[in-house]
Amino acid sequence: MASAVPSAMDRPHFIGIGGAGMSGIAKILAMRGARVAGSDARDSATAGALRALGVTVHIGHAAGHLADDASCVVVSSAIRPDNPELAEAAGRGLPVIHRSDALAGLMEGLRPVAVAGTHGKTTTTSMLAVAFGSLGLEPSYAIGGDLDLPGSNALHGTGEIFVAEADESDRSFHSYDPEVAIVLNVELDHHANYASLEEIYESFQVFAGCIRPGGTLVISADQPGARELRSRVADAPRPGQNLRIVTYGEAEDADIRIVNINPRGLTSDVTVLLDGRALTFTVSVPGRHYAGNAVAALAAGAALGLAPDELAAALGSYTGVKRRLQLQGTAAGVQVIDSYAHHPTEIAADLEAIRGSAGDGRVLVVFQPHLFSRTQELGIEMGEALTLADSSVVLDIYPAREDPVPGVTSDLIIDAAIAKGADARAEHSMEAVPELIAGMARPGDLVLTMGAGDVTELGPRILARLAD
């Protein structure tokens, strides 16, 4: 079993080390004994966690941050070519390694499980990491979010399994060679990198072709894009791959069929038919969407040879990921929950899940659109998804790495929601939101802060105002 540091990464420098994907790789390398350094635009709790592992973290970007003896520079697709540290690396002739290639290097000699899909990756990867850990398998993992338990987005374990979130946004998941791959869904997203759904299908086909000989593709039997991908993969087999395809879901033709989902507050009991017999287990997050994620994890573990009964029980120990329907607290009889959902399908799934837990209470949403390109392409669908809420407050677009697009504003979402009969309004000041929500909410209501940007910071502020 390999768990050494690849020679080129014994003294790596990460540009943008505070990002979810980058920080995870940096943590694993540090745990394996590499001398890790890096930089990020601002200080953060993630930077503090890295420093606790002995990592040198510089704030801001400057050529002087690159150590004289750095062995390589690790970047993500978000790093611009004019970054001064990247320019310094080029001047020195240092190897520049993409984040995905660095992660692939860490998985060499192990049994990788790669989780892909337009949405649901972080949750499913986390479920696997927690379940495998509770079974004593001591997995390594790299996840795009922090677990409630054990509280990190990455770990170097001593076992032979490595669980990784496989990001399709920039085609970087083509770098991996998993023993088991999960595809949860295939939908149009990441408009800066994909011109059409056809390009996304082609990219996922390449990913499926990377699965090791004798490996397994676990894929949804319910989601239309996944069903189309399964057909394409089955119709164009890769010579020598001997790929096994396992489907899961509520569809009657699913290999692992979900026959019942029984919601119980913020948890669900899920019953599946597996190898001709019924198996029931608890999922500690609400809704059909998350139940499907858990069954995908069950199928992947079974493909690795784990006993389904033991794995099902272990999945019950999963308590969530930060920002995935995470309860922030309760004040004045109002629950405040945080959601990372930013794609229309995710928004609808989380609102349906919360609606099932709200009882007679109302669901109030504070939604922050993420990226101008995504809003331009999917703004109408986002607004239509918000019709599942009783009332929505829509913030300005969180730009992340993008420049503004003329004519693309949150009004696209608000207008679409109102056109479908929803109660939706704009709020341009985040500072005004706690007071606004406190005036709207009443005991028994659920407030959902939703989006992939800094809307997550509003939960504690809303709770504080409600408690006044």
Beta bridge partners of 163: 113, 141
Chain length of the chain? 468
DSSP state, residue 410? T
Catalytic residue among 165, 179, 250, 384: 165
* Distance of alpha carbon 169 from alpha carbon 35, whole angstroms: 29
Catalytic residue among 46, 88, 122, 449: 122
Task: Find, among 354, 401, 405, the residue nearest to 379 by Cα.
Answer: 405
Residue 19 marked as a ligand binder? no
Residue 119 marked as a ligand binder? yes
Can you read off the two tokens belonging to residue 175?
A: 């770098």
Residue 54 marked as a ligand binder? no
Does the active-site annotation cover 27?
no
Say if strands 324-331 and 140-142 run parallel, antiparallel, or are unpaired: unpaired
- The torsion defined by the Cα of 338, 340, 345 and 349, in degrees rounded to 10, comes to -30
Does the active-site annotation cover 420?
no
One-letter amino acid at 463 equals L
DSSP string, 284-342: SS-SHHHHHHHHHHHHHHHHTT--HHHHHHHHTT---BTTEEEEEEEETTEEEEEE---
Residue 383 marked as a ligand binder? no
One-letter amino acid at 393 equals V
Write the CA distances from 138 to 4, 125, 157, 159, 161, integer angstroms.
16, 15, 5, 5, 8
Would you tell me how many other CB atoms lie within 10 Å of the CB of residue 442?
11
Residue 375 marked as a ligand binder? no
Catalytic residue among 85, 121, 179, 346: 121
Does the active-site annotation cover 310?
no
Burial 413-435 (b: 16+ CB within 10 A, else e): bbebbbeeebebeebeebeebbe
- Report phi then psi at 181, rounded to 5: -120, 140
Annotated binding site for ATP: 117-123
Annotated binding residues: 117-123
Supply the residues annotated as catalytic: 121-122, 165
